[in-house]
Amino acid sequence: MKTNLPSFFIGLALAVATTAAAQTFTLLHSFAGAPNEGANPMGSLILSNGTLYGMTSQGGVANGGEVFRMSTNGGSVTNLHSFSSYSGNGLNPSAALILSGSTLFGMTGAGSYWGAGLVFRVNTDGSAYTNLHSFTGGATNGSVPYGSLTLVGGKLCGMTMHGGASDLGVLFQMNMDGSGYTNLHVFTGGATNGAYPSGDLVVSGTTFYGLTSQGGTNNLGTVFRVNTDGTGYTNLHSFAGYPNEGASPPRSLTLDGSTLYGMAQSGGAANLGVVFKLNTDGSSYTNLHSFTGGTGDGATPYGSLTLANGSLYGMTSASGASNYGTIFRVHTDGSSYTNLHSFTVSAGDGASPSWCSLMLDSATLYGMTYYGGTNNAGVVFALSNLPAAPLPTLTITQMGNQTIVSWNPSVTGLTLQTNNNLSTGTWGNYLGAVSNNSVTNAPPTGTVFFRLKQ
């Protein structure tokens, strides 16, 4: 490694990637709809001991949606609970379940005696369904939840789109037995507050992070932070919309270290939505990808992102080869955007994954779509044999008499190698200490080239 920067950058450009077979789309289940099965799934799947759990917004005995389970190979599909009425049993769930022990917890957007939704629990074998809390709206209660619950310190926490003094939504907390309901924050809109939250909370230590679809300086939505006891609410970012930023973020954030990632359904260069990131202190907002539509790109994302090994995976509700949405991947620095699958609405494929998100297990993505499949009532699918993620870029920084070689700290499974002469030398593993994907050395004499290898 030479001590002048041009030589460093020549060496740092030599990152070697591996190739993989083309990804494989597998339709695991086509929903049949009422009365025997669910229809039109929303939200995401969760996985436990080889079993997938999820919810549909329609179908079931009374066409009010269902809680279901199935094996990861598509077999043993079981309806655990059918939502059926506005009288306390819940109706039309639109998000994911959470699992604690052998108990599933979730919310419905309608139902309850007031039609404003509820919080429920049910055992993984379908027994002991219980309405834990019926939302009533008004100044002291929430109404119409569209997100999922978050379990923090033995408390169930979540958000509703309506309710509170301004009817612009609340952030609430309750005990796991349904007692102790409390509004931790009431959204009021305006320049300094959000309005109409519709996704999940992300927790880090004693801090929640979340999104609202409206409110903020431009009334185009916000990223916010609030302590888990409800204090310290802060608007971290107000979305500005087309053409430079996203607008109206519909779901949830993904947290990696001190960086938050998310999607907005509109805004960006073509006003068709964006993938974005910003720091947890609200600084350095960046559009990683602006959706442009057409056959090679997606449009209008409504779900959340899944992070794995330096890459973000997500879905769009429209565009792609048949204009029924896509599955995509993009690196956390915004590079290497790839359309992994275009939905086709055929009997063997899904369509329009509106409000749905992906779940990654090892090297397989699991997800659902609102339409598609044999009955056009939605599907559960798997996408396996994912192509190798692009290797991150090596960077170099000089600090006094030291040089720092580093790459994205969220990427694992890579080996840093060095070579003193590209013509006659050989590559060998770097023998010094590597901390958080970074190495620090005093400048050596001569030339040293670096590369990453999988």
Cα–Cα distance measured from residue 213 to residue 221, given in angstroms and rounded to the nearest whole number: 4
Please name the helix (run of DSSP H) or strand (run of DSSP E) that holds residue 186, with its range, or none: strand 182-186
Shared domain for 425 and 356, answered yes or no, is no
Compare 428 and 292 and report the one with higher pLDDT. Answer: 292
Among 334, 363, 384, residue at a domain's last position: 384
Shared domain for 379 and 409, answered yes or no, is no
Whether residue 384 contacts residue 418, with contact meaning beta carbons closer than 8 Å, is answered with no
Shared domain for 180 and 55, answered yes or no, is yes
Domain membership of residue 412 (yes or no) is: yes
Shared domain for 327 and 202, answered yes or no, is yes
Domain of 297, CATH number, reads 2.120.10.60
Please name the helix (run of DSSP H) or strand (run of DSSP E) that holds residue 110, with its range, or none: none
Shared domain for 72 and 121, answered yes or no, is yes
Compare 64 and 411 and report the one with higher pLDDT. Answer: 64
Shared domain for 373 and 414, answered yes or no, is no
Among 351, 367, 384, residue at a domain's last position: 384
Q: Is the pLDDT of residue 398 over 80?
A: no
Can you say whether the dihedral through the CA atoms of 192, 157, 118, 181 is positive or negative?
negative
Shared domain for 372 and 411, answered yes or no, is no
Shared domain for 166 and 209, answered yes or no, is yes
Shared domain for 426 and 306, answered yes or no, is no
Q: What is the pLDDT of residues 18-51, one digit of tens each?
A: 333 479 999 999 999 999 999 999 999 999 999 9
Structural domain harbouring 191: 24-384
- Determine the pLDDT at residue 7: 37
Domain membership of residue 427 (yes or no) is: yes
Overall domain count for the chain:
2
Provide mean pLDDT across the span 369-387: 96
- Determine the pLDDT at residue 16: 38
What would the two tokens of residue 128 be?
């002991």
Domain of 409, CATH number, reads 2.60.40
- Determine the pLDDT at residue 1: 33
pTM above 0.85, yes or no: yes
Domain membership of residue 19 (yes or no) is: no
Among 361, 384, 407, residue at a domain's last position: 384
Q: Is the pLDDT of residue 8 over 70?
A: no
- Determine the pLDDT at residue 444: 56
Domain membership of residue 18 (yes or no) is: no
DSSP string over 410-451: T--S-EEEEES-TTT---EE--S---SSEEEEPPPSS--EEE
Shared domain for 259 and 213, answered yes or no, is yes
Shared domain for 361 and 440, answered yes or no, is no
Cα–Cα distance measured from residue 301 to residue 395, given in angstroms and rounded to the nearest whole number: 32
**Mean of per-residue pLDDT scores for the chain:** 90
Percent of the chain with pLDDT over 70: 92
Shared domain for 412 and 435, answered yes or no, is yes
